[in-house]
Chains A and B, each alone.
Chain A
Amino acid sequence: MRRMAILTAAGLLAIVVLAPVIWLMILSVSSTADIYTVPLRWIPSDWDLSRYGRLLAPDPSGNTSPFLLALRNSLIVGVAGTVAALAISAPAAWHISRAHAGEGLLHVMVGTYMLPQTVMALPLYVMLSSSGLLNRPAGLVIVYLGFLVPFTTWLLKTGFDQVPRQLDEAARVDGLGAFGIMVRIGIPIARASIATTALFALLMAWDEFFYALLFTSNAAAKTVTVAIVDFTSGRVSDYGLVAAGGVVAALPPVLIGVLLQRHLISGLTAGGVKG
């Protein structure tokens, strides 16, 4: 009896979690006629796979598809942001982990990460505008550091905490200074944690919308989140195309998430829950 209840609940959960995603994918390959048929045919009778081609193909004047450019921009901003965030936060995370100092700073940083974006939007706009960085991936990367760095510092600190202190001692005996220990001992041993942190950061950058909406205008810097929302606000004649855009935009983060789910969970819970 209990077993039945558990299995039913589990089945229900699986359906609830998957249904929207699967329907989005089905929508992306359904013909327009099928989409509007009432009662709705859940499995399309006419498969239309052209949307993915249309999304990524060059436009009539021979220029690269704007959606493809947006994907590229998201990738550039995500990778550059992650790399920069890691480089900046690793020393801080190491120091906080080792010297048991700066924990206050860590708490302040975690606090800033939770501030609303709206309160920093205007000054950031002015800052980017006056330095000519509006509508440039570099500008967006700088802004993104504001929320990536606290996060990566936090996670890296947790990761470095796992590195045994005896190794520090041994390295110090060998004559290494603090930087050297971090580079030669800390980073290699904590590399799994660093990799997880990097992928987390990439996910966060990819997901971001508000700042991208404000600080990017055209194809030079527009990220995929802004591009796909532009799809939906205009005159939409093909919802299947919108769905296809959604699927493509969601593919990288979902793949990362699924491949790393074990690390992600332990990273989240260890860092956020146990302090």
Chain B
Amino acid sequence: MRRPIFVMRGGSALAVRRRSAEGFAFLSPVVIVLVVTVGGPLLFTLAISFTSASFLGTLADLRIVGLRNYVTVLTSTSFQHAFIVTIEFALFTVTAEMLLGLGTGLLLAEEFPGRTLLRVLLIVPWAIPTVVNAITWRLIYAPDFGALNALLQQTGVITDYRSWLGDPSLALYAIGVADIWKNFPIVGLIVLAALQTAPRDLYDAAHVDGAGIFRRFSTITLPHIAGPLMVALILRTIDTIKVFDIVWVMTRGGPFSSTKPMSMLVYERTFSNLESGIGSAIAFIITLVCLVFIIAYTRLLKRQSRSA
């Protein structure tokens, strides 16, 4: 069907109006979905956090309590403990992932036989579902028959099998190792992709100039990967602040709540203890912490797209 051409690029008022109508039509499905599945729920949770709502309770029981839930939460030892657990977990895993990822990326940038195959293999930890990873490591740590115990015993590091996930001082780090294993490869691949944009001749020139390994790394390599690495850092940090699945499957928050992060506290309070007001308050606090990082991320993205 042929239509007369009314719309000129960057042209008349008609064009602008048509474009806005277009924009509306094109964007509205997405907006609707987000309002229904994200925006609405977010506001709902915020509202509930100021009440004494109870899961499965009736509206008649609802009372507005203002900031009391937040005060209760922030002053409760269980929340403070969960906050520390979350931060500890985040620091440990993200640091390790960045370092290991950096090393992996640098390694893969080198030429050696089997390099392509190795690159493909790195996808496997990323592709494995989170809960399957959690189960695998739970089996590895099993006190009666786990691979870790077997390995350490057969190499003489320990004499008796021991429990790893049952030790309050070790459990969180044991879970951390499982999370690191799953995520450091993708960081490595991101670093690799960034490295491959670095011009080769710059390296060669520096080499000829006699610059040592560290000098080359800090002045040439690092600037190229800093951006992507920062992005990966922020994304992974947000992920660890939200962590739930892997801890739920590996220890359920035990032993002695030494592995209970904030998100598990939300689940407990909201759905197990049926104290939805409190649970929502905790959830919102987690959101605020995440928001800090989300804003940092979007700023970083904007800066990068401007310079790209």
Binding site for B on A (CB under 8 A): 3, 6-7, 9-10, 13-14, 16-21, 23-24, 27, 35-36, 38-40, 42, 87-89, 91-92, 94-96, 99, 101-102, 105, 107, 109-112, 114-124, 126-127, 142-143, 145-146, 149-150, 153, 169, 172-173, 175, 177-178, 203, 206-207, 209-210, 214, 225, 228-229, 232, 239, 242-243, 246, 249-250, 253-254, 256-258, 261, 264-266, 268-269, 272-275
Decide if the interface of chain B is mainly helix, strand, loop or mixed.
Answer: helix
Number of interface residues of B (CB under 8 A): 108
| Cα separation A173 to B5 with both chains bound (whole Å) | 8
Kindly provide the distance from the CB of A30 to the nearest chain B CB, expressed in whole angstroms. Answer: 10
Q: Are B131's CB and A209's CB within 8 A?
A: yes
Contacts of B40 in A (CB 8 A): 123, 127
Complex Cα–Cα for A92 and B31 (A): 9
Residues of B contacting A42 in the complex (Cβ-Cβ under 8 angstroms):
150
Cβ–Cβ contact A172 & B5, under 8 A? yes
In the complex, B175 has a CB within 8 A of chain A: no
Q: Which of A17, A27, A102 meets B27, CB within 8 Å?
A: A102
Note all chain A residues with C-beta closer than 8 A to B114: 10, 14
State whether the Cβ of B223 lies closer than 8 Å to any Cβ in chain A. Answer: no
| Interface-located stretch among B72-80, B89-97, B141-149, B200-208 | B141-149
Q: What chain B residues lie within 8 Å of A275 (beta carbons)?
A: 301-302, 304-305, 308
* Contact sample, A vs B, 21 pairs, CB 8 Å cutoff: A9-B107, A10-B114, A18-B124, A20-B140, A87-B29, A88-B33, A92-B26, A112-B39, A116-B286, A119-B284, A122-B45, A146-B33, A225-B129, A246-B132, A246-B136, A253-B127, A254-B127, A264-B123, A268-B186, A269-B189, A273-B304
B290 close to A40 (CB less than 8 A): no
- Tell whether, in the assembled complex, residue A232 and residue B127 are in contact, meaning their CB atoms are under 8 Å apart: no
Given A269-B193, A273-B190: A250 and B23 interface contact (C-beta under 8 Å): no
CB neighbours of B142 from chain A (8 A): 239
Q: How far is the CA of A147 from the CA of B290 in the complex (A)?
A: 16
- Seen from chain B, the residues whose Cβ lies within 8 Å of a Cβ on chain A are 1-3, 5, 7, 9, 19, 22-23, 25-27, 29-31, 33-34, 36-42, 44-45, 48, 55, 103-104, 107, 110, 112, 114-115, 118-133, 135-140, 142, 144-145, 147, 149-150, 153-154, 161, 181, 185-186, 189-190, 193-194, 227-228, 231, 235, 238, 241-242, 244-245, 248-249, 263, 266-267, 270-271, 276, 279-280, 282-284, 286-287, 290, 293-295, 297-298, 301-302, 304-305, 308
Query: What A residues does B161 contact at CB under 8 A?
Result: 38
The number of inter-chain residue pairs (CB within 8 angstroms) is: 292
For residue A97, give the distance in angstroms from its CB to the closest CB of chain B: 10
Asked if B298 contacts A111 (CB within 8 A), the reply is yes
| Cα of A40 to Cα of B228 in the assembled complex, Å | 42
Known: A118-B266, A225-B131, A249-B129. A232 touches B249 (CB 8 A): yes
